[in-house]
Amino acid sequence: MANKRRLGRFSINPIGLGCMSLSQAYGPQPDEAASERLLHRALDLGCDFLDTAAIYGEGHNETLVGRTLKARRSEFTLASKCGFRVTADNPRVVDGSPAAIAETLDASLRRLGLDHIDLYYLHRPDPRTPIEESVGALARAVEAGKIGAIGLSEVSADQLRRAHAAHPITALQTEYSLWTRNPEIAVLDVCRELGVTFVAFSPVARGFLAGAFETPRMLGRDDIRFAMPRFQGDDVVRNQALYGPYKAIAEEIGCTPAQLALAWLLHRDPALVTIPGTHQIAHLEENMAANEVSLSPDHMAALDTLVNQETVSGGRYNAAQQATVTTEQFA
């Protein structure tokens, strides 16, 4: 069993489970029964940190997690998120207003079949609502016993400081992997300073570091990578050239490429936790076994030299997606 890491008052396996892909994002929605089996298998393997959100599958994901694991609620720490509002013409309007947060939280609790969520994130910072007001609404939810702790997602270091001054922040979630180093600009340092747990999502680079693009492939419009520059045109061709040498390092160590990506993160920062997502049990089992992979300083140096913000081609988000986040960017 992996050494546990701290998430506020919780002690959790450093490899959790991002549940989004059980409802949306990477092609057709998986079979419901298969998703239920995967969730149970995750707990059986010692995965005790599950991450969902109100917006995933427009509520489907929370309903799935709540229904499937109701009888095993004591076995895991649960995180969900607010901060998006669905309208008639836009399913993802950023809204961090106190009224929207309160409404979304109550709906999340109903779907989950719970009266309390362990960790509740603001999914995106709202440019129309000061971060202090959004956090104030979440603080009132803590006082009411509806949530145990407050998290933030995709915010800047300055916003984290301001939020933490308004109410203690337990976790900050942002994409982090060998090929997305943005948190290294400022956010990771501020998390360490304030005692905030950093939660890395998309740790295997949305499948790229697991071999999903080892050979060319076409993406459908129901796959969120369809709109991401790194997976398109000349950018994906240049990035594919990195994969062969990367895979060779994994073979030298004796692990899979996905395990190598996760092990790099766990060695990079002894306090962070990560939430790889999958809808396949074989991949889940592979990911959880990454806890056992040991990397030498030479391996870490080789990986850092091979895959980094200067060798990866293309932005992680397109212009519309990037406009919803404030995490610092490399020039």
* Catalytic residue numbers, as ranges: 56
d(CA 253, CA 247): 10
Residue 102: which residues within 8 A CB-CB, separation 6 or more?
Answer: 137, 140, 141
CA distances from 119 to 72, 103, 178, 199 (A): 17, 17, 26, 12
Q: What is the residue-wise DSSP string for 72-105?
A: GGGGSEEEEEE-EE--SS-S-EE---HHHHHHHH
Give the chain's end-to-end CA distance (angstroms, integer): 40
Amino acid 184 reads: E
Count, residues in the chain: 331
d(CA 50, CA 28): 21
